[in-house]
């Protein structure tokens, strides 16, 4: 199965591509070739760093192309900032809108004595009906590194607790996102990527 990985010059690209290939994906990478998005069978948007980097998706036309692909029913997976981009925007970069697939904003963890960013291994409480997280048991650990987080809503596929509960995975129809890094999350992360590859 072919997977189109979007490179907006802020993603952990090498590790993501390697992990996808490990689970059997035929990976192609693009930073501006809209034809690859137009013909995509699966799309993955990895991301690290500042939310403002997603501005490149707008300037290259990738935002419009990805929105059209999602509308066609192409399975989409956002990772870390790639998940945050699915929301209306982030308080990290108030002038840069997200895709708006989910209407809520991304906000920073509150300052309360705990260390921010949230870095390291933490557990998932996955919703049983999630197809992306099929076979992931409550308490399985994945790797995080982030200062901003999504709220818990009806679209939340898994929650994690750090300072307070936040959405560590989200899923609605063919659109999925994970705040953690599956490419750095050992067998649990590979299981999740394999589920995405098998998503019909």
Interatomic CA distance for residues 171 and 22, integer angstroms:
23
Indicate which residues carry an active-site annotation. 80, 181, 183
Radius of gyration of the chain (CA): 15
Residue for token pair 């991301």: 47
Do 107 and 147 touch, CB atoms closer than 8 A? no
């Amino acid at each position: 199965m072919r997977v189109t990985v979007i490179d907006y010059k802020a993603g952990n690209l090498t590790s993501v591509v390697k992990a996808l290939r490990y689970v059997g994906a035929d990976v192609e990478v693009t930073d501006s070739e809209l034809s690859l998005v137009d013909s995509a069978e699966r799309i993955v948007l990895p991301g690290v760093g500042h939310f403002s980097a997603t501005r490149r998706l707008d300037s290259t036309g990738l935002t419009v192309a990805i929105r059209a692909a999602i509308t066609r029913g192409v399975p989409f997976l956002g990772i870390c900032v790639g998940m945050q981009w699915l929301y209306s925007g982030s308080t990290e970069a108030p002038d840069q809108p997200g895709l708006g697939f989910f209407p809520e904003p991304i906000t920073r963890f509150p300052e309360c004595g705990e260390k921010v960013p949230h870095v390291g291994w933490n557990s998932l409480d996955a919703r049983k009906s999630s197809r992306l997280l099929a076979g992931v048991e409550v308490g399985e650990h994945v790797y995080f590194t982030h200062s901003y987080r999504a709220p818990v809503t009806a679209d939340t596929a898994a929650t994690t607790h750090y300072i307070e509960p936040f959405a560590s995975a989200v899923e609605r129809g063919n659109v999925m996102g994970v705040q953690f890094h599956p490419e750095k999350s050992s067998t649990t992360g590979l299981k999740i990527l394999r589920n995405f590859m098998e998503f019909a």
